[in-house]
Amino acid sequence: MTLSKALAPSQSLLTRAVMVLGGSFFIALAAQVSVPMVPVPMSLQTLAILIVGLSFGARMGALTLVAYLAEGAMGLPVFAGGGTAPALVGPTAGFLYGFVAMAWIAGFAADRGARGVVTMALAALAASALLYIPGLAWPALVMGKTVPELLSGWMLPFLAGDAVKAVIAALVVSGGWAMLKNRKA
């Protein structure tokens, strides 16, 4: 059982739609909290994606990210820096598409019973690490970036922040479980 199912047991179509839209809005807000860096901005959207995945589970987490990408494709300014549809073919497009898998991986751990800080942090770290596959493949294939360029500008500056965000996401969601447990006690 995921945290979202524990908090909203009904899971009607309306409930799930509200969760998906609310989760995509949460991610869009987090994307606007960013530090401009070249070529990739550092934002809080990956933190929000991990929280959504760990809270919603694999299917609902991935669906939330598909909705987020669709909102951007429709022209809503949901991506970092108020980005819209052009971001889906820009330099960071691989990361945007990889967000769906990131949420799914974190959610998969939640679906399998990850509730402790350590297990959720490890799942979040794995999801964050795997995000670099599409994130780096896109600029390598589409823009011809070399491995040294990718490592120095697209990956290494973000590793420490990714680790911190993974731990924060695990703390937030495990805190939600603890509050739910205390509420029932």
pLDDT in tens, 74-111: 999 999 999 999 999 999 999 999 999 999 999 999 99
What is the chain's length? 185
Q: What rounded mean pLDDT belongs to the chain? A: 95
Short-list 68, 80, 88, 78, CA closest to 41: 80
Contacts of residue 164, Cβ cutoff 8 Å, sequence gap at least 6: none
Instruction: Determine contact, residues 150/139, Cβ cutoff 8 Å.
Output: yes
Q: How far is it, in rounded angstroms, from Cα 70 to Cα 166? A: 25
Tens of pLDDT, residues 42-77:
899 999 999 999 999 999 999 999 999 999 999 999
Question: Domain ranges in the chain?
Answer: 3-184
Give just the sign of the alpha carbon dihedral 160, 51, 115, 111.
Answer: negative
What 3-state DSSP class applies to 178? helix
Architecture per CATH, domain 3-184, reads as Orthogonal Bundle (1.10)
Both tokens of 45, joined, read 């959207």
What 3-state DSSP class applies to 34? strand
Q: How confident is the model at residue 40 (pLDDT cuts 50, 70, 90)?
A: confident
What 3-state DSSP class applies to 43? strand
pLDDT at 41 over 90: no
Amino acid identity, residue 176? G
Q: What angle do CA 154, 134, 74 make, to 5 degrees?
A: 100
pLDDT at 5 over 80: yes
